[in-house]
Amino acid sequence: MSQATHTALIKAEAKRLGFDFCGVAKAGFLEEEAPRLETWLNGNKHGQMHYMANHFDKRLDPRLLVDGARSVVSLLLNYYPSQTQTDDSAPKISKYAYGLDYHFVIKEKLRSLYAFIQEEIGEVDGRVFVDSAPVMDKVWAKQAGAGWVGKNSNLINKGNGSFFFIAELILNLDLEYDGPVPDYCGTCTRCIDACPTDAISEPYVVDGSKCISYFTIELKENLPAEMKGKFDNWAFGCDICQDVCPWNRFSKAHQEPQFRPREGLLDMTARQWEEMTEDVFRKVFKDSAVKRTGYKGLKRNVEFLKMPT
C-alpha cells in the first residue's frame, strides 16, 4: 500500500473512533520552537510546573521519544458542552472537566487506532500521547493543519473553535503530510483584554505562573493574596480566554457520551459548593479531571473565592 493509502486508512479510522480532526506532520526537530521554549522557561513563566523544564530536547524532537519516528499524527476531540452551570453565583469549573477524565477516554481511542494501524498496515512502532509526556501538542497540531495557535496560546480551528483535546500518535511510518493553516487572529485582542490576571503577557505568550488554571490546579501551596478578587469565580481551571474568542461562536456540542456532565454537577448551587464534604467530592468527581487538585485543593479554591478583597 502507498503512503497515501496508509494515510487515508488512518484518517478514516480516526473519524470512525470519534475524533473530530486527524492530520499528519513530518517528525523532526522543532527548530523555531527551541528559542521560544528556552525564553519562556528562562522567564520562569512555568512557575512551579517544574516538569515543564524537564526533557527539553525530547520536547523539541519526537525522534527522541520514538526511535526512527517519521510521522506525528495529531488528533482533536471536541469537548464543548451543550449545557453549562446553572447558578451564576456558584464557583465555576472548566468545561473540559464536566465528564470523565479525558485521559481515560482518549487513550482508549488512541490505543484502538494504534491497534488498527498494526493490523491493517503491519509492524509499525510508535507511541500514543495524551498530555502526559514532553510533546508540544499544539505545535504539532498546527503543523498538521488542525488550526493555528492563537494569541491566548490555544489551538484554534477555523470551523470549530478551540474547545478540543489534543492527542498524538508518533510512528516510524512515512505518511502523506499536511501543512499548516494561516493565523486568523488578525488584530483581535479580546483574550488579552479579558484575562483578569494579565496572564497573556504579550500576544501568543502566556505566563503560566499568572494563569487562573495554574493557581487553581497546579499550585499546591496557599494562593497569593494579591490575586484575591481576580479569579472571576473560577475554582478549577478557567475558560475566559476561550469564552471571549470570536472563533468559538462556531463551537458545536460534542457527541462523546463519556464527556457528559455528572448528574447534578451543573445544578450545584453556591452553597452546595461551599458546604461540599469529602464524600460528596468523591461521588461527584469520581474519575474526573477535578481529582487532580484533590478535595483539599478544591476547598482551598472555593474558600479563596469567598475571601474579601
State residue 131's pLDDT score.
Answer: 86
State residue 7's pLDDT score.
Answer: 98
Strand partners, 95: none
CB atoms near residue 172 (< 10 Å): 16
> Which positions are catalytic?
131
State residue 51's pLDDT score.
Answer: 73
Sign of the alpha-carbon torsion through 93, 98, 104, 107: negative
Residue 71 near residue 35 (C-beta atoms within 8 A):
no
Alpha-carbon distance of 200 to 79, in angstroms, equals: 23
For residue range 156-181, list pLDDT tens digits in order: 999 999 999 999 999 999 999 999 99
Residue numbers of the chain with a pLDDT score lower than 50: none
State residue 132's pLDDT score.
Answer: 76
State residue 308's pLDDT score.
Answer: 79
Q: What are phi and psi of 299, to 5 degrees?
A: -60, -40
State residue 77's pLDDT score.
Answer: 98
State residue 27's pLDDT score.
Answer: 97
Among residues 223, 221, 158, the alpha carbon closest in space to that of 184 is found at 158
Among residues 85, 223, 245, the alpha carbon closest in space to that of 156 is found at 245
Q: Where are the domains of the chain?
A: 3-82+96-171, 190-251+261-306
Task: Classify burial at 115, counting beta carbons within 10 Å of its beta carbon; exposed 0-12, middle 13-18, buried 19 or more.
Answer: exposed
State residue 245's pLDDT score.
Answer: 98
State residue 133's pLDDT score.
Answer: 82
State residue 48's pLDDT score.
Answer: 75
State residue 10's pLDDT score.
Answer: 98
Residue 99 near residue 259 (C-beta atoms within 8 A):
yes
Q: Is 170 helix (H, G, I), strand (E, B) or coil?
A: strand
